[in-house]
Structure 1
Amino acid sequence: MGGVKMETYPKYYIEIIIYLIRILFLIKGINYLIIEDFYFALISFSSIVLTFFSFIYFKLFKKTLDNKLNLSVVIFIFISLYLGTLSGFYKFTWWDTMLHFVSGIILGFFSIDILQNLIKDKNLLKKLPKKFIFLYIISFVALGCVLWEIYEFAIDSLLGLDMQGSSFTGVTDTMIDLIAGTLGGMLTAFTNYHKISESINSN
C-alpha cells in the first residue's frame, strides 16, 4: 500500500491533515502580508505556532503524543481562527457558542490527562472518588472558560476590538460563552464518569 503499513494509517492521515491546516494558515498569512493587513497576518502566523501546543504539552510531561487529542486541538484552532476569525464565520450567531462548547469538551480531556500527570501515585489515584474527579473536570473547564474571557477582555481593551461583543450584547455573549464551555466540560465528565478510574489506573 504505497510503502505505508496499515497500522500507521491513522497517524499518517492525522499528520497530513495537520500539515495541510498549517499550510492553509501560511497561505492566509502571506496573502495578508501582500495586502498589508498586518493584524490578520499576525493572527495567521500565530495560529501556526498554536498548532504545536499539544506537541509541546506532551513533551513537557515526557509522554507519547496523543494523536487524536492533538488533531482535535489543531482542528479546533482551524475552525476557531481560520474559519471563524480569518474567514468571517463569526457572522453566524451560533458559531461562537459552538466553539466554546467544543473547547469545553477538549479542556475536559486535557484535565483528565493533567490529573494523571500531577498525581503519580497510582494507589492515591485509585482512592480518588469519581464524584471528586467529576467536579474537578467541571472546575478545570470553567476556569479555562473564565481565563479565555479575561483574554478577550484584555485584547478588547488594549487593541480597541470587540471580541466579547459587549458593544451590542453587554454581558450576554460572555455568559453564553461561559455556559457553553461549562456544558462541554460536563459532557466530557458525564461520558467518562465510569471510565475515569479505569483510564487513570491503566496509566
Structure 2
Amino acid sequence: MACPNPPRGIYLAYTIQGLILLAAASSILAGEYFLGLSATVAFLLTLAPYLATRNLGLCLPWEINLLVAVSLYIHVMGHVGEYYVTFAPYYDKLAHLVASVTVGLIVFFLALLAERREEIRLTGPAIAIFILTSTLAAGTVWEIYEFAVDQVFGTNLQFDNTDTMWDLVVDLVGGAIVAVFAAIVLARGEEDRFDRFFAEPPSGAEPTEVMGDPIDPARTR
C-alpha cells in the first residue's frame, strides 16, 4: 500500500515550518545567534515525520506533522518573541501541553505499528502505560536539557523547582489525554481504522506480474 496524496491540511504544517525558518533568520540578523541556532534545530526536528514516512513505511496523518511543527514553533516563539516571559507562566504550560499530546500520539501510532508488524503484542492498559511513561520520559529529558543549558550558558530557562514540577505535571496531563483516547479506541476495537496510516514498503513486483496470466490449456495444444 502506497501513501495517498497528502491532503491540503499538510500545507498548514509547511506554513508553520516556514515561520520557524523566518524566526531563525530574524534572530540571526538581530545578532541573537543562539536563538537562531535553536530555531534552526527546531526546523530540522520538524522534518522527522517526513523522514519516518520515507524510511519506516508510515503514512502519518497530516495532523501529526502539524502538531510537531506547532509544538516546536510555540517553543521557538517563546524565546524569540519572549512570550515565555510576557505570558508567564501560562505560555510555558501551553507549550508543554501541546508537546506532550504530540509525543503521546506519536507513541500511540508507533505502538499500533509494532502490533501490526507483529513485532510486539501490547494490551490496552499496557499501551496506555507506555504512552504515559514515554511522555513523562520525554518531558524529563527536556527539563534536563534546560538545566544543562542554564548551567553552561547562564540562561534562565528554568525559573525554580516549582516551575519544573508543574511542567512535568502538565506533561503527565497531556500524556493522560492521549492514553484515554487510546484506551477508548482499543476498547471499541477501532484500531483497524488506523491501518491506512501504515504503508507497506515496496517489495518488488506484484504477484500477478511475477506469475503472469494463467496458462490456457487450449493454447498448449
Residue 108, structure 1, aligned to residue 104, structure 2: yes
Residue 178, structure 1, aligned to residue 168, structure 2: yes
CA distance in structure 1 between the aligned counterparts of 2:68 and 2:140, rounded to whole angstroms: 19
- Give 3-state SS (helix, strand or coil) of 2:152's partner: helix
Residue 71, structure 1, aligned to residue 66, structure 2: yes
Bigger helix share: 1
Q: State the superposition RMSD in angstroms.
A: 2.4
Amino acid at match of 1:94: Y
C-alpha change, 1:27 and 1:143, in structure 2 (3 Å) is: closer
- Residue segments in structure 1 that go unaligned for 5+ positions in a row: 1-6
User: Which residue number corresponds to residue 185 of structure 2?
Assistant: 195
Amino acid at match of 1:153: F
CA distance in structure 2 between the aligned counterparts of 1:138 and 1:195, rounded to whole angstroms: 16
User: Which residue number corresponds to residue 3 of structure 1?
Assistant: none
C-alpha change, 1:174 and 1:195, in structure 2 (3 Å) is: same
- Give 3-state SS (helix, strand or coil) of 2:7's partner: helix
User: Which residue number corresponds to residue 143 of structure 2?
Assistant: 149
CA distance in structure 2 between the aligned counterparts of 1:13 and 1:200, rounded to whole angstroms: 23
What is the identity percentage for the equivalent residue pairs of Structure 1 and Structure 2? 23
TM-score (norm 2): 0.75
CA distance in structure 2 between the aligned counterparts of 1:25 and 1:14, rounded to whole angstroms: 16
- Give 3-state SS (helix, strand or coil) of 1:62's partner: coil
User: Which residue number corresponds to residue 43 of structure 1?
Assistant: 38
Q: 1:45 Cα shift?
A: 2.3
When Rg is computed on C-alpha atoms for both structures, the one with the higher figure is 2
